Amino acid sequence: MFNLFKTAVLMAAITALFMAIGSVLGGRQGMLLALVIALGMNFFSYWFSDKMVLKMYNAQEVDERSAPQFFRMVQELAQRAQLPMPRVYLIDEAAPNAFATGRNPEHAAVAATTGILRVLSERELRGVMAHELAHVKHRDILISTISATMAGAISMLANFAMLFSPRDSEGRQTNPIVAMLVMFLAPIAAGLIQMAISRAREFEADRGGAEISGDPAALASALDKIQRYAQGQPLEAAERHPETAQMMIMNPLSGGGIKGLFSTHPSTEERIARLMAMARG
């Protein structure tokens, strides 16, 4: 519940930031232009993100005949989560990882690397796939698209600053120092909020996944194992497409080691601690 509240607060914060930056830099005209452009770009991404990312990773769809054990696991977890059956994909990569995509539960897909199937036990794999189904259930693709739209609009406003910032009757900027500060700091602030939203959604997916699988300790064990393997086994597709790294259960570009404000994922240690607290509770 706390993470849902935190997400709502962060979404309100990035919207308020957009309104404030817009009034300083762009005025009504600049705000509208930036929002329309950002909406257009991210609407396309939201609608076609599943097809794009699955193609980037050369993911192959599987069914009950081609991957019976894995497919039935996802099917059982989807039933437990009261979700429509998503499409199921495998990615031929040695690095252990997984992700969910799709614009809503009716058009969802979950994908896992062949490496994660080899590395994890059945219990641990159930925990991971339950985490991904929690993302689907919480409509996190929609939330991330909205936050990306607002962050993109703020960055565009900063780029439009020289064109749309308020000017006096002689055409000079009324507050050039303020405009310059906002122009440089606004995109950073927007990015920080966007990453904080991403971290909150990961915590919530951990909690939701543990509830779906009924086994928080298994997901905690899986995260620990994925982090240890990821440190020495890069996910090649993610290195070619770094913009997709935030979708994974663990950021494959950081090996689980990047901490702080600029991380798209919470620290693995904190995620494990929260899950183990759930298991004890």
Helix (H, G, I), strand (E, B) or coil at 226: helix
Phi-psi label, residue 267: left if phi above 0, alpha if psi -120 to 50, beta otherwise: beta
Catalytic one of 93, 124, 132, 204: 132
Asked whether 135 and 141 are in contact (CB, 8 A), the reply is yes
For the question of residue 211 being annotated catalytic, the response is: no
For residue 255, give both structure tokens: 């090996």
Q: Which one-letter amino acid corresponds to residue 66?
A: S
Q: Kindly report the number of other CB atoms within 10 A of residue 254's CB atom.
A: 17
Parallel/antiparallel/unpaired status of strands 60-62 and 87-91: antiparallel
- Read out DSSP for 7-61? HHHHHHHHHHHHHHHIIIIIHHHHHHHHHHHHHHHHHHHHHHHHHHHHHHTT-EE
Active site residues: 132
